[in-house]
Amino acid sequence: MSSQRTPSAAADAASTRRATRTAALRALAVVALVVALDQLSKHLLESSLRSGEESKLIPGVALVNTRNRGIAFGVQPGSGLLVSVVIVLALLALLVYFLRNATRPLIWLPTGLLFGGAIGNVIDRVREGAVTDFIKLPLGWPPFNLADASITVGVILLVALVGRDDATRRRARTQTARSGDGRAGAEHSGESRLRG
């Protein structure tokens, strides 16, 4: 048997590489946009509010200038080393998932949002040892920033996309099984008629 690919297999592989490259470029564009907006918003906040200061933005929403040494939304897991390890492991897992599923429709969007949010907060950690949070909602919700919001939206989109794709695959398998059962039944009934 020859190890050479058939023309259609080569075309499929080229198409997959092209789709992966396009998805990666789109994800990188989202990363760049999220990081730029996150860092710009933090810079504008820090230049207009002193540390610990608060200013009402709209009813129920305030701007604050606060620092967070935890992961997100004030979650404090402990040491900075633990936070860094958790972030690196999560990003590696996401990268592997993305590379294996880059041809899935829209998978680049949550991937870009998640990486962009993580990078935005990592820049703060490297520069200041803590993340700048500035959006304060009512009911005691911990202050957060655009990077945190990007991560949250990214997780929601990723779960929705994976759930949608899994549901689509289950439906396709069910339809294939039903059509296979129908063909088997028709073949059985044809054989019975031939015997009779």
Q: Is residue 153 part of a domain?
A: yes
Of the two residues 169 and 99, the one the predictor is more confident about is 99
To which residue do tokens 């200061």 refer? 53
Q: Is residue 167 part of a domain?
A: yes
Q: How far apart are CA 145 and CA 72, in angstroms?
A: 9
38 included as an active-site residue: no
Q: Is residue 189 part of a domain?
A: no
Candidate list 12, 38, 124, 148, residue with the active-site label = 148
The mean pLDDT of 116-120, rounded to a whole number, is: 94
Q: Is residue 22 part of a domain?
A: yes
Q: What is the pLDDT of residues 25-38, one digit of tens each?
A: 999 999 999 999 99
pLDDT of residue 48: 92
166 included as an active-site residue: no
pLDDT of residue 180: 67
Q: What is the pLDDT of residues 126-146, one digit of tens each?
A: 898 888 999 999 888 889 999
Q: Is residue 48 part of a domain?
A: yes
pLDDT of residue 1: 47
| Domains contained in the chain, number | 1
Task: Tell me the HSE value of 192 on the side-chain side, using a 13 A CA sphere.
Answer: 6
Q: Is residue 194 part of a domain?
A: no
What's the domain range around 76?
A: 9-182
Q: What is the pLDDT of residues 145-162, one digit of tens each?
A: 999 999 999 999 999 998
Tokens of 160: 């929705």
Tokens of 152: 């949250």
Q: Is residue 95 part of a domain?
A: yes
The closest of 99, 94, 87 to 158, measured between CA atoms, is: 94
Q: Is residue 97 part of a domain?
A: yes
Candidate list 12, 133, 165, 166, residue with the active-site label = 133
